[in-house]
Structure 1
Amino acid sequence: MISPTAKEIFIQGITKDGRTFRPSDWAERLAGVMCSFRPGGAYPGSHLSYSPWCIPTTINGVKCVVVNRALRDAEPMAWDFCVNFARDNDLQVAEACLVPDAPIPPKKA
């Protein structure tokens, strides 16, 4: 169960019994379905980029989708769709926070 205070959830491409979830592009497909749900709503061309609230990524070699709580606040049914996708496919879900990479320091001359 996902706590009501979770800031982000990570839907991982690993089933609860440890198998890799297929198809291999599942994360991009799920995030693509969610592309219209974004701050300010959909706009012409928004279908060409992922929503900042639902981002596919790879973490330690495992495909994941990071779903931000802002999606739940703005569109509860879209949040439920993502959570139910994970549950229906028996995928592992973790509550976490995506930390941006540290900036790369400039090279010294």
Structure 2
Amino acid sequence: NPAVTKSLNTLAGLYLLMGDYDKALPLYHRSLDINQRQLNADHPNVATSMSNLGKLYCAMGRYCEARPLLEGALVITMKGTSFGKDEHDPNTAMAHARLADLLSLESMAAGCE
């Protein structure tokens, strides 16, 4: 049910904003699992769940786990907009921004080592 995954994402997002990553993590995982089981692999809700979980992993400093999720979300989003032909699509912009954030964080972390 899309309402269930939307509620899971919303609650997880609140926990993320509050910095309570341990509570957000299982909710984002559950949302992604439900969407992947019930929808086709290229569905926008799958991309949203992947992007949200990737954002959480970035916040947790778990960049290796974030990257495939954010890259996958971008691919799905671009497929949904005729492979990115609509550069003004807000979902495509968000997917690009989250991946750019990850790359920036990875670069800063590498510079600190």
Q: TM-score, normalised by structure 1?
A: 0.30
Structure having the larger proportion of residues in helix: 2
Higher relative CO (Cα under 8 Å, sequence separation at least 6) belongs to 1
Structure having the larger proportion of residues in strand: 1
Q: TM-score, normalised by structure 2?
A: 0.30
Larger Cα Rg: Structure 1 or Structure 2? 1
